[in-house]
Structure 1
């Protein structure tokens, strides 16, 4: 039988739901196998750095089955979501970094949930590899670990035995994905039905809120961003922006991309689409009116950019988010 390690990191702000959820789903998968006359796939153990970890200001605690030093080898490791105070979280769990590297070198596969990607990235294991995390933490992860191939729109990544997922409760989709990989399709469908988890999702793009990448320290780029955000509905050109700020196009393009991770044109597209999203969520304007108010005059171009950024058409987005109470 294989061994599954669900890590219990230190830190009061860590997410207990991703620990308990992973444990419940894999336990149910084992039970389903047993009921159908097959051996369970994994021995499942919660493993931590101490005998007990507390969560949410001491309201909850988890007592791991084993401490880290007791686990010499394992087959699959799940890293749960971390405290968003990343410096503190990484410092408190530095021992896990070396252990993860050792286990990976022995052949263990590793799955990170949400901001657990920060702990995974600290190992260097995913340098050059695809990785996702919560959309709200993507800029910080990119800043800290620029060598990873960050794919923040993807709900799940799978490369060379390393699995990552987007954010929050989308970890349930990753768990079903792993159950299918290790137990088979029948068990995965059973678990998805028992826990009522929608399958088939591959993107978290429609959930993302674009707040702009402004923690970069380049005052000129920051001024350009604010200038653009105040003129969403106006005609836009990068050359015109360069003239306004009296800077050459090549230099501006280089500085803007380095500071934000987007070209100026991509940035304007994202703030225009964010404007359209908010209008689709709350207003009674037609899609055409929202399109014009967001700076677009070509319906096809608007739909294409909207779908590229959110994964949905404007009409689909409105249907998904406009009415939440029935």
Structure 2
């Protein structure tokens, strides 16, 4: 039987993460027992204290065990904890050496959504890939530059460490683990019971691009503002460099450093964000939206749109345009 330690951190912990994780593994056990088989999982709530208050005292959780009493576990699950992330990490620093010890003793580690911040503070993610809520990507990169953050992914799995994207993406990761430990058939059953899209693998359709302006380079901010104002027209890197009185190479280097995108990548993301808004709210067809947002080649538009959102323009319009569903 696989022992699962579901951590109860101090702070504004996500109750939905805790309940969903507990229920999904428990339902697998129930299904196995109904089939005359032995349960696979033993899930225990593990805390820093025997009672943790949440949401300014509105809720409280009573873990079954203190972390220091768990000598050996197979899977450690870290739920999302909201608020000032530096304070969150400080409030839960007692977990850190215990998590490292469990990993070195063969346990696998799971972080759900913003729980990635606690996981990264252990150092176990150094040089590895992970994901978290896309809204927290900039803050995560600033705090943990040695981690290969992939904020567009729903799930990462590397070296016995698993992470999930934002909010209810945690359900996809738990489903992924059910499939890994209990098989595809049980994962499909769980996906039907909990009504989870088992094949969802990207946060991209949900990301709202607002431009990366959390930097101090005023010249690059001027370039960003120009792109955002003039994206439907023809914009070249050479023209932008000339406007800013700098060489193309210097512009590219500073732009990439400030925004984490090349000039062309930034232009593409601005155009695709505009296209998303049009596809969500207007009755225009895909070609009309394409021309409206600065593209003339349907194949190029489809390729770039799908690369950024994970969906084709037609799929995106069908999924998110409310007017079409009236």
- Matching residue of 1:185: 184
Gaps (5+ residues) in structure 1?
none
Instruction: State whether structure 2 residue 224 is matched by structure 1 residue 225.
Output: yes
SS at match of 1:167: coil
Report 1:105-124 matches (<5 A): 105-124=104-123
Cα drift, residue 54 of structure 1: 2.2
- Matching residue of 1:6: 6
Asked if the contact 1:77–1:110 (Cα under 8 Å) also holds between the matched residues in 2, the reply is: yes
Q: Distance in 2 between matches of 1:279 and 1:211?
A: 16
Comparing 52-61 and 222-231, the one that deviates more: 52-61
Report 1:67-82 matches (<5 A): 67-82=66-81
Instruction: State whether structure 2 residue 220 is matched by structure 1 residue 249.
Output: no
SS at match of 2:151: coil
SS at match of 2:7: strand
Equivalent residue pairs, number: 325
Once superposed, what is the RMSD of the aligned Cα atoms?
A: 1.5
Cα drift, residue 143 of structure 1: 2.1
Superimposed CA distance per residue, residues 72-121 of structure 1 (whole angstroms, 9 cap, x where no aligned partner): 22110111112142122111111222221111111110111111111111
Q: Distance in 2 between matches of 1:231 and 1:89?
A: 41
Superimposed CA distance per residue, residues 139-173 of structure 1 (whole angstroms, 9 cap, x where no aligned partner): 22122212222222211111111111111111111
- Matching residue of 2:313: 314
SS at match of 2:230: coil
SS at match of 1:212: coil
Superimposed CA distance per residue, residues 29-60 of structure 1 (whole angstroms, 9 cap, x where no aligned partner): 11112222222222110111122222223222
Q: Distance in 1 between matches of 2:168 and 2:36?
A: 31
Superimposed CA distance per residue, residues 192-241 of structure 1 (whole angstroms, 9 cap, x where no aligned partner): 22212121111111111111111122222222212211111121111111
Superimposed CA distance per residue, residues 16-38 of structure 1 (whole angstroms, 9 cap, x where no aligned partner): 10011100101111111222222
Gaps (5+ residues) in structure 2?
none
SS at match of 2:11: coil
Q: Distance in 1 between matches of 2:95 and 2:228?
A: 42
Q: Distance in 2 between matches of 1:168 and 1:162?
A: 19
- Matching residue of 1:100: 99
Q: Distance in 2 between matches of 1:201 and 1:43?
A: 27
- Matching residue of 1:278: 277
Asked if the contact 1:84–1:115 (Cα under 8 Å) also holds between the matched residues in 2, the reply is: no
Q: Distance in 2 between matches of 1:224 and 1:75?
A: 50
- Matching residue of 1:209: 208
TM-score, normalised with respect to structure 2: 0.95
TM-score, normalised with respect to structure 1: 0.95
- Matching residue of 2:34: 35
SS at match of 1:94: coil
- Matching residue of 1:61: 60
